[in-house]
Chain A
Amino acid sequence: MAGKPKLHYTNGRGKMESIRWLLAAAGVEFEEEFIETKEDLEKLRNDGSLLFQQVPMVEIDGMKMVQTRAILSYIAAKHNLYGKDLKERAWIDMYVEGTTDLMGMIMYLPFQPAEAKEKNLALIIERATARYFPAYEKVLKDHGHDYLVGNKLSWADIHLLEAILMAEECKPDILSAFPLLQAFKGRISNIPTIKKFLQPGSQRKPPADEKFIAHVKKIFNM
Chain B
Amino acid sequence: MSGKPKLHYFNGRGRMESIRWLLAAAGVEFDECFLETRDDLLKLQKSGALLFQQVPMVEIDGMKMVQTRAIGNYIAAKYNLYGKDLKERALIDMYVEAIIDLDELLMMYALQPADKKEQYLANIVDKATNRYFPVYEKVLKDQGQDFLVGNQLSRADVQLLEALLMAEEYKSDILAKFPLLQSFKARISNVPTIKKFLQPGSQRKPPLQEKDLPKVMKIFNLGH
Inter-subunit contact B51/A70 (CB<8 Å): no
Q: Determine how close the nearest CB of chain A comes to the CB of B116; give it in whole angstroms.
A: 16
B141 interfacial by beta-carbon distance below 8 Å? no
Q: In the complex where A66-B94, A74-B90, A77-B86 touch, is A132 in contact with B52 (Cβ < 8 A)?
A: yes
Inter-subunit contact A97/B132 (CB<8 Å): no
The residue of chain A having its C-beta at the shortest distance from the C-beta of B93 within the complex is A70
User: What is the count of residue pairs linking A and B with beta-carbon distances less than 8 angstroms?
Assistant: 77
Inter-subunit contact B89/A90 (CB<8 Å): no
B73 interfacial by beta-carbon distance below 8 Å? yes
The residue of chain A having its C-beta at the shortest distance from the C-beta of B98 within the complex is A52
Name the contact of A90 in the complex, choosing from B73, B94, B96, B98 (C-beta under 8 A). B73
Q: Determine how close the nearest CB of chain A comes to the CB of B64; give it in whole angstroms.
A: 10
Question: In this complex, which of A77, A87, A97, A132 has the most chain B Cβ atoms within 10 angstroms of its Cβ?
Answer: A97
Instruction: Collect the chain B residues with CB atoms within 8 Å of residue A93's CB.
Output: 67, 69-70, 73-74
Q: In the complex where A63-B87, A77-B86, A94-B66 touch, is A89 in contact with B52 (Cβ < 8 A)?
A: no
Inter-subunit contact A89/B63 (CB<8 Å): no
- Measured in the bound complex, the distance between the Cα atoms of B98 and A22 in whole Å is 22
Instruction: Collect the chain B residues with CB atoms within 8 Å of residue A89's CB.
Output: 73-74, 77
A67 interfacial by beta-carbon distance below 8 Å? yes
- How many of B's residues come within 8 Å of A, CB to CB? 28
Inter-subunit contact B90/A98 (CB<8 Å): no
Task: Please encode chain A, from 84 to 114, with 1 for each CB lying within 8 Å of some chain B CB and 0 for all others.
Answer: 0011011101101110010000000000000
Q: Determine how close the nearest CB of chain B comes to the CB of A96; give it in whole angstroms.
A: 8
Name the contact of B94 in the complex, choosing from A67, A86, A97 (C-beta under 8 A). A67
Inter-subunit contact A65/B94 (CB<8 Å): yes
Q: In the complex where A93-B67, A94-B66, A94-B67 touch, is A101 in contact with B52 (Cβ < 8 A)?
A: yes
Name the contact of A97 in the complex, choosing from B70, B86, B93 (C-beta under 8 A). B70
Task: Please encode chain B, from 45 to 81, with 1 for each CB lying within 8 Å of some chain A CB and 0 for all others.
Answer: 0000001110000000101011111100110011000
* Residues of chain A from 65 to 79 with CB closer than 8 A to chain B in the complex: 65-70, 73-74, 77-78
B36 interfacial by beta-carbon distance below 8 Å? no
Instruction: Collect the chain B residues with CB atoms within 8 Å of residue A52's CB.
Output: 98, 101, 131-132, 135
- Measured in the bound complex, the distance between the Cα atoms of B69 and A89 in whole Å is 12
A214 interfacial by beta-carbon distance below 8 Å? no
Q: Determine how close the nearest CB of chain B comes to the CB of A131; give it in whole angstroms.
A: 6
- How many of A's residues come within 8 Å of B, CB to CB? 29
- Measured in the bound complex, the distance between the Cα atoms of B53 and A101 in whole Å is 13
Inter-subunit contact B94/A51 (CB<8 Å): yes
A165 interfacial by beta-carbon distance below 8 Å? no
Inter-subunit contact A74/B63 (CB<8 Å): no
Inter-subunit contact A135/B94 (CB<8 Å): no
The residue of chain B having its C-beta at the shortest distance from the C-beta of A85 within the complex is B77
- Measured in the bound complex, the distance between the Cα atoms of B87 and A77 in whole Å is 11
Could you write out 19 A-B pairs with CB less than 8 Å apart? A51-B98, A51-B135, A52-B101, A52-B135, A65-B94, A69-B93, A70-B97, A74-B86, A74-B90, A74-B93, A86-B74, A86-B78, A90-B65, A93-B69, A93-B74, A94-B51, A98-B51, A98-B52, A98-B67
Known interface pairs A90-B73, A98-B67, A131-B53; 10 further A-B residue pairs with C-beta atoms within 8 A, sorted by A's residue number: A70-B93, A70-B96, A73-B93, A74-B93, A89-B77, A90-B63, A90-B70, A93-B74, A97-B70, A131-B52
Chain B residues with CB under 8 Å of chain A are 51-53, 61, 63, 65-70, 73-74, 77-78, 86-87, 89-90, 93-94, 96-98, 101, 131-132, 135
The 3 closest A-B pairs by CB, nearest first: A70-B93, A93-B70, A97-B67
